[in-house]
Amino acid sequence: MVVTGAGGGIGSLVVGRFLANGDTVVATDLSEEALGRLPDPTGQSLHRLPGNITSEEDCAAVAARAAEVGGRVDVLVNVAGYFPTRPFDDMTAAEFREVVDVNLTGAFLMIKAVTPQLRGRGWGRVVLVGSASTFEGVPGQVHYVAAKAGLFGLARSLARVLGKDGITVNVVTPGLTLTPPVRAGMPPDFIAQQVGLRAIPRDEQAEDLVGAIFFLASPDADFISGQTVNVDGGKHML
């Protein structure tokens, strides 16, 4: 299986869950240093490959590595994301494109790269990590919210395209999750405010997402496709 954004707070836990399940994981991230911190309990099941999800060549290399070490790709979990804050009036077209490239185009490229292997097996799982910010909008993240909203259309359309091949495509939408980038980039009072807006009034941790992702990647989710599973403590009830 392949996990993108594997060096981050969410991605690293996803990698750990699948390794604990006995899976062979190809972990890719822009940061080679972050990949180096990923533990591999067996010393054989984790394969680290630095790469840029916006590069077709890098995505192809990840898919090829997965085929080499595992014989096939059967699961893709796309966690890679980039969420800078920028007022709309100051946002440039180049900044908008950069955020869309990582959050939406990168997902397309990675799916495109692994699809032949998924089809070859006749069974596959694609799980895309979106954002619950798409349900309400965020003034300082117009580019990010627009890109993450695009994942819904991508997943639903690909679910139609790939369903006949035994491949499901779904989205998991986390709320504001206390990963290191969020702690560093968001005001503490804003983070605290989110707690009071949730039906389950506590901080959201990266660990809260792993179960939903693991379920959608499992045989138990054989008949679920084109769906959005929202994991934000009940802030948004869809």
pLDDT value of residue 43:
85
Question: So which residues are the catalytic ones?
Answer: 144
Residues 14 and 59 sit within 8 Å (Cβ to Cβ): no
Homologous superfamily in CATH for domain 2-176+207-231: NAD(P)-binding Rossmann-like Domain (3.40.50.720)
Q: What are phi and psi of 43, to 5 degrees?
A: 75, 5
- Name the pTM for this structure: 0.96
pLDDT value of residue 31:
97
| Positions in the chain short of pLDDT 50 | none
pLDDT value of residue 47:
97
Domain definitions of the chain by residue range: 2-176+207-231
pLDDT value of residue 237:
94
120 C-beta neighbours (distance < 10 Å), count: 14
pLDDT value of residue 52:
98
Q: What are phi and psi of 62, to 5 degrees?
A: -65, -45
| Beta pairing partners, 46 | 25
